[in-house]
Amino acid sequence: MLVIPAIDLRDGACVRLLQGRFDAVTQYGDPFVQVRRFAEAGAQWVHIVDLDGARARKPAQVDLIGRLAAETNLKVQSGGGVRSREDVEALLAAGVDRVVTGSVAVRAPQEVRQWIDVFGVERICVALDVRQTQEAFEVAADGWAANGGATLEQALSAYPPNALKHVLVTDISRDGALDGPNTALKQYIRRIRADLALQASGGVASLDDLAALKAADVSATIVGRALYEQRFTVEAALAV
């Protein structure tokens, strides 16, 4: 299982939001300092989110993301506001290795499948950010501000085997809360879609959480606030 440190960008600074709320922001300083720390600790990838882009529904910090990508030898996975093929091309040209798209992936999966056909399964990651209701896990959109109009199962079914490889699933209720990941959700996804390389996000607070996700056969885990709050180090996480 890969452990992928996260950098969320707002107005050029490294921040973390609680459950995607822009009124619940914690500042963590210079993103260049963070990306260098992650590289020096032995990480292979970094996950960079353009929060301004997510809010504007169009990438807003492509130049900064490109400079961060050039700062180290880390591979970069990045998204936030990606709505078009041109957005994908701009991020890839800036030095991003894998582009993350969410809202369009749910609302126009046929378009995202075309991107995958053009750029390849390694260059696109579909992000499904979900909230649990009494009936199902509902997928959110537009920076988590709106309902995506599909359940998790419906969203996944729009990408048959071989049409998609990388999927990032976030339990919104756990994001930034440091109350543990939803391992049952991840285990369920592995049962119904064993063909996908599943990335988990939301709730990781301890090394035991990472071990539980590894046991759930997750391919990669995105870790943010737990690192910034020094619950554990990147080195310790990689050892798990």
Domain edges within the chain: 2-239
Catalytic residue status for 129 = yes
Pair 9, 226: CB distance under 8 Å: no
Distance CA 91, CA 97 (A): 8
Which of 8, 50, 87, 209 is an active site residue?
A: 8
The pLDDT of residue 179 is above 90: no
Report pLDDT for 199.
Answer: 98
**In the beta sheet, which residues pair with residue 66?**
none
Give the CATH number of domain 2-239; options: 3.40.50.720, 3.50.50.60, 3.30.9.10, 3.20.20.70: 3.20.20.70
pLDDT, mean of residues 150-169: 95
Residue 55 CA, distance from chain mean position = 16
Residue 132 CA, distance from chain mean position = 18
The pLDDT of residue 144 is above 70: no
**In the beta sheet, which residues pair with residue 197?**
166
Residues 6+ apart with CB under 8 A from 236: 207
SS3 60: coil
**CA angle (235, 169, 48) in 5-degree steps:** 55
Which of 50, 87, 129, 171 is an active site residue?
A: 129
The pLDDT of residue 30 is above 60: yes
Higher-confidence position of 144 and 226: 226
Pair 159, 189: CB distance under 8 Å: no
Lowest mean pLDDT among 8-22, 104-118, 217-231: 8-22
Pair 53, 81: CB distance under 8 Å: yes
Catalytic residue status for 8 = yes
E-only strand ranges, 30-145: 45-50, 75-79, 98-101, 124-132, 137-141
Report pLDDT for 135.
Answer: 76
Reported as a single tens digit per residue, the pLDDT across 57-90 is 999 999 999 999 999 999 999 999 999 999 999 9
Q: Flag whether the pTM goes above 0.85.
A: yes
SS3 188: helix
